[in-house]
Amino acid sequence: MLLYAIRKLAYGFLIIITVACTVSSIIYLSPVDPARLSFGQLSDAGTVEAKRKALGLDQPLPVQLLYYLRDLSPVVVIDKNNPILESYSGVMFSMSSTKTFVIKWPYLRESFQSGRPVAEILKEAIPLTMILAFCSILLASLLGIILGILSAVRHGTWIEQVAMVVSTIGYSLPSYATAIFFAIVFAYLLQPLTGLHLTGSLLEVNDQGDWIIEWKNLILPVVALGLRPVSIITQLTRSAMLDNMMMPYVRTARAKGLSSTVITYLHVLKNAMNPIITGISGWFASLITGAFFVENVFNYRGLGVITVKALLDFDIPVVLGAVIFTCVMFVVINILVDLLYSVTDPRIKYS
């Protein structure tokens, strides 16, 4: 089990390194010159050349790539008088008179457009996306499990048919379509009744210029993002419950004289939870990318809005940081889901 986890982790690490290499090399190869980009039209050749030197763009491509990986890695050995040391945030250990050993956070460089560190930009955006994804998965699992239990208990009736039709439609609705639909209905047509805003982020600036938390702005994105997981979890719960209801232990329990409520909620539901939990945790990862669209609809300043804006502006470090962060999230969640299988179902053993 531990060995399996270590092997999976090593493999995930390899994937992240490969992704970082590929993405950075491909993006640095593209025809746009970031040095020109950060000044615009009002610059002379000397300034651009100096900026190129500062960004390390005058170096050959493999060297640039190695520099990026050096900034990214948490452990590094470099010269004491290297100016990049000022940007690292971590602990330094002196090794010799010239070399120093640094344990640091991954340094994602600075944005070409605003000049701010990418880590700072991401630090503002990631919590917003996380809150959005977490709230919607919470909503989805609550609603989905209730609907799934209902349709499994009322198997063969109109309740089940309605739930199945609704969940099938909900599954094939892309999240941005749902988001626009909700935006039009609840924030435009029914605006006087609901009082919701068409666009807005969780953190907003009020008239006095202070940052305030607007919980109201979270409602529509959460519902729009959660609709697809609701349908998945409904179907998962229903099929898991129905599978378990066919098992011999249910017949035994019924023969023992237990009431059907106890059988359904204490025996069947407990055994059916296993695939549901793994399904929910697997969907959490894809919700983060699903949030890209919903955020763009509601202009909710999370990871998605920042990435798409950076892509349109060709702000390479921000795109790289967001892509690498998303990949790390995906890899970590996938490993956790794999391990969760064996925790929830003791019959599964990894060797």
Partner 1 sequence: MKTTKLKKKTGSVRLWWIIISAYILLKCLINPQPVVSIGNSGLRLGLFNFSNDISDPINNDILTIQPLWKVSAYKTHLGKDSTLPPLKWDSLGNFHLMGTDHLGRDVFAGFICGLEIAVLIGLFVAVFTCLVSLILGVIGAYFERFPLHISRPEKVLWIIFAFISPLMLGWSILGAMTFIGWIWYLILFVGLVLIFRKVFRTKNRILPIDTFNRRFQEFFQPLPDLVILLVVLAIFDKISFIGLILILIILRLPAGAWFLQGRAQQIVHLPHIDQVSTMGVSVWRIMGLHIMPLLKSYSVVFMSLTASRAILSESALSFLGIGPTGEWMSWGSMIRLGLNNMNMWWVALFPIIGLVGLSLLFRFWYKD
Stretch near partner 1 under the rule CB under 8 A, chosen from 112-120, 130-138, 258-266, 318-326: 318-326
Smallest gap from residue 8 Cβ to partner 1 (A) = 10
Instruction: Report 251-290 residues binding partner 1 (CB under 8 A).
Output: 285-286, 288-289
Residue 101 or 314 with smaller CB distance to partner 1:
314
Here the tokens at position 198 are: 């068409």
Q: Is 351 in the site for partner 1 (CB under 8 A)?
A: no
Q: Is 164 in the site for partner 1 (CB under 8 A)?
A: no
Q: Is 161 in the site for partner 1 (CB under 8 A)?
A: no
Instruction: Report 74-133 residues binding partner 1 (CB under 8 A).
Output: none
Residue 250 or 315 with smaller CB distance to partner 1:
315
Quote the CA–CA distance of 309 and 300 in Å, as a whole number: 12
Residue 239 or 289 with smaller CB distance to partner 1:
289
Per-residue contact track with partner 1, 203 to 242, x per CB under 8 A?
A: ----------------------------------------
Q: Is 182 in the site for partner 1 (CB under 8 A)?
A: no
Residue 126 or 173 with smaller CB distance to partner 1:
173
Smallest gap from residue 195 Cβ to partner 1 (A) = 17
Quote the CA–CA distance of 107 and 137 in Å, as a whole number: 31
Quote the CA–CA distance of 181 and 186 in Å, as a whole number: 8
Q: Which of 68, 186, 300, 330 binds partner 1 (CB under 8 A)?
A: 330
Helix (H), strand (E) counts: the chain:
14, 5
Q: Which of 183, 202, 240, 272 binds partner 1 (CB under 8 A)?
A: 183
Stretch near partner 1 under the rule CB under 8 A, chosen from 72-80, 97-105, 140-148, 310-318: 310-318
Q: Which of 133, 240, 276, 297 binds partner 1 (CB under 8 A)?
A: 297
Q: Is 198 in the site for partner 1 (CB under 8 A)?
A: yes
Query: Who's near 36: CB < 8 A, 6+ residues apart?
Result: 43, 48
Quick check: helix, strand or coil at residue 101?
Answer: strand
Q: Is 184 in the site for partner 1 (CB under 8 A)?
A: yes
Q: Is 186 in the site for partner 1 (CB under 8 A)?
A: no
Residue 266 phi, psi (nearest 5): -95, -35
Quote the CA–CA distance of 106 and 332 in Å, as a whole number: 17
Q: Is 188 in the site for partner 1 (CB under 8 A)?
A: yes
Q: Is the dihedral of CA 111, 114, 120, 122 positive or negative?
A: negative
Instruction: Report 29-48 residues binding partner 1 (CB under 8 A).
Output: 29-30, 32
Q: Which of 293, 301, 302, 317 binds partner 1 (CB under 8 A)?
A: 293
Output the CA–CA distances (angstroms, integers) from residue 151 to 74, 141, 147, 154, in the order listed.
50, 15, 6, 5
Residues in the interface with partner 1 (CB under 8 A) total 45
Quote the CA–CA distance of 157 and 193 in Å, as a whole number: 35
Where are the strands (E) in the chain, listed by range?
Answer: 75-79, 90-94, 99-104, 203-205, 211-213
Longest distance between any two alpha carbons in the chain, whole Å: 89
Output the CA–CA distances (angstroms, integers) from residue 58 to 34, 35, 48, 52, 140, in the order listed.
12, 11, 11, 6, 50
Smallest gap from residue 303 Cβ to partner 1 (A) = 11
Q: Is 299 left (phi over 0), alpha (psi -120 to 50) or beta?
A: left
Burial of 297 (0-12, 13-18, 19+ CB in 10 A): buried
Smallest gap from residue 31 Cβ to partner 1 (A) = 8
Q: List b or e across 251-290, with b for residues whose CB sees 16 or more CB atoms inside 10 angstroms.
A: eebeeeeeeeeebbeebbbebbbbbbbbbbbbbbbebbbb
Interface with partner 1 by CB under 8 A: which residues? 11-12, 15, 18-19, 22-23, 26-27, 29-30, 32, 168-169, 172-174, 176-177, 180-181, 183-184, 188, 198, 285-286, 288-289, 292-293, 296-297, 307-308, 311-312, 314, 319, 323, 326-327, 330-331, 334
